[in-house]
Structure 1
């Protein structure tokens, strides 16, 4: 199975995706990049407009994510015990109930205890649930407005879930904060809470828990969390903290000790490229 992508009209990012089996590499201006490290967090320094990398389109089940431990961090389908992973359908829904992805240049530090949740981070970029009306494509980079945040506690780790909307969504102008989601999409936040609470039960795992008794925090709170995770990412890229197996190879952050040349980046991808079918597709 080869991941499928289609053209996007959601921001003109000019990013080319190289689709391998269960894997997507990112190319910009003809050169390989890391979506985790090289795509900017913010859009033109605007206060509440961020780049979101779409990992999982709405209503799909394949558990795709940025491969944080691989060179240049392609989007890859998760594998457990030699089998590709999929999320179960949580009645009455099909797959993920939003477009799901992550903010680049953020990192939830597993060695740093969050003051508000009293738990350390989950060692990943911060997750985003995009609630717009359009089903987005895997690998799209879209500009989103942040509306709020939910604090999932997963096996003792903080796993923040941002609530956001694509700025190009027809209804985006209505949404400014978390209360607007309650007003214009009644029941969506409750469905989101229940989805995250129950989605691991079919795997034989217990219900997930939440900080703040499952309360969704507002935009101002969410922006502070983003700021904190961005600072953690900076420390990671500057080798000021222990990143463990996280692969920090990048081509855009020139003052990072993990910076590599465009030629080195290409060699990293080419070393595995010949072993997999590939289909380059333009976003």
Structure 2
């Protein structure tokens, strides 16, 4: 059982109030049919639309994060934005499950990697700074704390900075954040603190994103701002911008395209379910011929 923390009011004196969210695995991991659904109070919820972005509405720098990929693992797990109630699944490309390669000296993902709920990088709008449109996904986040997370975990994290990756002509923001319960959380309040206390991590993050697709015969990724990691204030504004875009999407002001917008809790949304939905009514039967895939153990040395 996961515990989401929200604050009723900074002035209420009541502190944090816990919300219970359960992650439910269906099928075998690293197979095409495996899914991780989310449930609250016995009903299905969407990690894209129902988990609140802000832990405290009066502190926009503390947000909820859905962990998709644990640190040091390779499977490219992500929120299935096109499936009903948006479970987690492993990405598939050309009929094969996707794993990121080990690019020396990085063993898989080098942080807990995931997404911020209730955010959306709008593919119809051009960001004035990057001059690129969004990639049609929730905003990505790299959580740099010491705990190794797990797929389906919900963490409360503090925003620290953001990189502007430009992936195939689309803006793909990469937010840096730290779990608020991490022992270093009090000392990390902005990107310069990351540079001070975790020297080399921002540089390694930028390098990882630059080269991780090269083993698949793709060119190196590029960045806006010459690769500069923008500060906490800028990151907070980008998160708010993508949250506002999500609001327009979930309230029906934007075309849904291939996105699944069913949700259990957004009162202003025309896609809100009239009745509670059970996870058992959503997931598909597991094929008997599902094969478990494995990551390629090869190390790639990229100059």
Whether TM-score is above 0.5 comes out as yes
Paired with 1:221 and 1:269, the residues of 2 have a C-alpha distance of 41
Paired with 1:126 and 1:31, the residues of 2 have a C-alpha distance of 25
Q: Specify the structure having the higher radius of gyration (Cα).
A: 2
Paired with 1:79 and 1:65, the residues of 2 have a C-alpha distance of 10
Q: Considering fraction of residues, name the structure with more helix.
A: 1
Q: Structure 1 residues 98 and 10 mapped into 2: Cα distance closer, same or farther (>3 Å)?
A: farther
Q: In the TM superposition, what is the alpha-carbon distance from 1:29 to its structure 2 partner? A: 1.1
Q: Which residue of 2 aligns with 1:18?
A: 24
Q: In the TM superposition, what is the alpha-carbon distance from 1:81 to its structure 2 partner? A: 1.8
Paired residue for 1:88, among 88, 101, 104?
Answer: 101
Q: Which residue of 2 aligns with 1:207?
A: 220
Paired residue for 1:261, among 245, 266, 274?
Answer: 274
Q: In the TM superposition, what is the alpha-carbon distance from 1:246 to its structure 2 partner? A: 0.8
Q: Report whether the alignment pairs 1:136 with 2:149.
A: yes
Number of matched residues? 269
The CA RMSD over aligned residues, in Å, is 1.7
Give structure 2 stretches of 5+ with no counterpart: 6-17, 28-33, 289-303
Q: Which residue of 1 aligns with 2:65?
A: 52
Q: In the TM superposition, what is the alpha-carbon distance from 1:262 to its structure 2 partner? A: 4.0
Q: Is the 8 A contact 2:4 2:21 kept in 1?
A: no
Paired residue for 1:189, among 187, 202, 212?
Answer: 202
Q: In the TM superposition, what is the alpha-carbon distance from 1:99 to its structure 2 partner? A: 0.2
Give structure 1 stretches of 5+ with no counterpart: 1-6, 278-283
Matches within 5 A, 1:210-225: 210-225=223-238
Q: Which residue of 2 aligns with 1:31?
A: 43
Q: Which residue of 2 aligns with 1:147?
A: 160
Q: In the TM superposition, what is the alpha-carbon distance from 1:275 to its structure 2 partner? A: 3.2
Q: Is the 8 A contact 2:45 2:264 kept in 1?
A: yes
Paired with 1:87 and 1:243, the residues of 2 have a C-alpha distance of 29
Q: In the TM superposition, what is the alpha-carbon distance from 1:46 to its structure 2 partner? A: 3.9
Q: Report whether the alignment pairs 1:251 with 2:257.
A: no
TM-score normalised by the chain length of structure 1: 0.91
Q: In the TM superposition, what is the alpha-carbon distance from 1:239 to its structure 2 partner? A: 1.1
Higher relative contact order (CA 8 A, sep 6+): 1
Q: In the TM superposition, what is the alpha-carbon distance from 1:261 to its structure 2 partner? A: 3.1
Cα shift readout 1:150-196 (whole Å, capped 9, x = no counterpart): 00000000000000000000111100000000000000001000000
Q: Which residue of 2 aligns with 1:168?
A: 181
Cα shift readout 1:80-123 (whole Å, capped 9, x = no counterpart): 12211100011111100000001000000001000110000000
Cα shift readout 1:137-159 (whole Å, capped 9, x = no counterpart): 11111100000000000000000
Cα shift readout 1:13-62 (whole Å, capped 9, x = no counterpart): 52111101321000011111000000000003241210000000000000
Q: Structure 1 residues 177 and 269 mapped into 2: Cα distance closer, same or farther (>3 Å)?
A: same
TM-score normalised by the chain length of structure 2: 0.85
**2:102 match: secondary structure:** coil
**1:235 match: secondary structure:** helix
Q: Structure 1 residues 70 and 269 mapped into 2: Cα distance closer, same or farther (>3 Å)?
A: farther
**2:103 match: secondary structure:** coil
Q: Is the 8 A contact 1:20 1:276 kept in 2?
A: no
